[in-house]
Amino acid sequence: MGSVITFDIGNTRTKFAVFGADGTILDAGADCKIVDVMNRFDGSKVIYSSVLAEIDAHLADKIDFSVSLCRDIEILVRNTETLGKDRLAAVMGARFLFGCKNCLVIDAGTCITYDYLLDNGDYLGGAISMGIGMRYKALNAFTSKLPSLNTDEALDNFDDVGKETEGAIHSGVANGFFDEVNARIDRFRAKYDHSIVIFTGGDAKFLAKHIKYEIFVEPLLVHYGLYHAIQTA
């Protein structure tokens, strides 16, 4: 197989990766024009995953990632039609990169998702929660006086006790976010031996700095999953 372009089209950003014939990544980026990437790597196979209802016209005849392309995992969720393709692609990426291990895949983006893949290939499903940016925005949107903040304004100093409104918001949002993720990992590690935790998504590196466990961070996990899917199709 020649080169492969993978597109991960999310709620806020479009990301891409280009794989060479030997599986190495030739290029990757975000906030791209799909047609520009396709023109630069003309002749490549293209596979995409999108959470949006409408698809770019240039992808009309390209491979739309779906459940049918998942050859080496057993999907045990009740309704695959509502299963997010980005979540499924990330699980495929975990299987491709880490093989037969119990994997907790945490995608920290607009939403934060938790997906559970067992060493025998069973994909159990997972959980969806608000991402850290959404939590900050919600406090501002659904109250009359709380300001709009973000993690950059906290300078990574998230005290348990805020001395003013801004500090209290950072404590509640950021520390609540970290506590949620750590608790998920606690339960996963207690239940499954020989387990690993993989972070991906736009907030993965930021989140990883505040997690008490050793974890893997792979920003291109979804793309590896898409590449794996097209290889086994």
Active-site residue numbers?
86
Degrees, nearest 5: CA angle 192-109-7: 100
How many angstroms from the chain centroid is the CA of residue 229? 16
Q: How many helices and strands in the chain, by DSSP H and E?
A: 7, 11
H-helix segments, 54-175 = 85-98, 132-141, 165-170
**9: which strand partners?**
14, 50
**216: which strand partners?**
198
Helix axes 221-232, 85-98, angle to 10 degrees: 80
**Residue of 223, 216, 132, 227 whose CA lies nearest to 173:** 132
**192: which strand partners?**
none
